[in-house]
Amino acid sequence: MTFWQAVAFQWINPKAFASSLVAVTTYAIPDHLLTGVVLVVAVFTLIGAPCILTWAAFGMGMKRILTRPIAIRTFNVAMALLLILSIAPMLTEGAKA
């Protein structure tokens, strides 16, 4: 994916729309909607930009490391296991309720 393809993808990114909608409906005061929207955009930009830059830098570094198929496979399996482990507390907490 090229840079401009990634930029265009953001216009159809459902997670971006969902988080934006939740933020605006939660934090924007109806009587001051424009101010609220501007504030949400500012906060998203101030927090999001460094996070995205860090994520991109990490991805570029991993691209140099993950050059062999076995390395890619090992990384993918490790990420899948970490994902499963991150879900486990939610499942066990739900069982207690």
Considering the domain architecture, whether residues 61 and 71 belong to the same structural domain is answered as no
pLDDT tens for residues 33-71? 899 899 998 998 999 889 989 988 998 899 899 999 999
Q: Clarify whether residues 56 and 72 are in a common domain.
A: no
Same domain, 33 and 9: yes
Domain count, the chain: 2
pTM over 0.95: no
Structural domain harbouring 60: 1-65
User: Is residue 17 over pLDDT 80?
Assistant: yes
Q: How many whole angstroms separate alpha carbon 62 and alpha carbon 78?
A: 14
Shared-domain flag, residues 13 and 54:
yes
**Do 47 and 79 fall within a single domain?**
no
Provide the angle, in degrees to the nearest 10, between the axes of the packed helices 14-27 and 33-65.
150
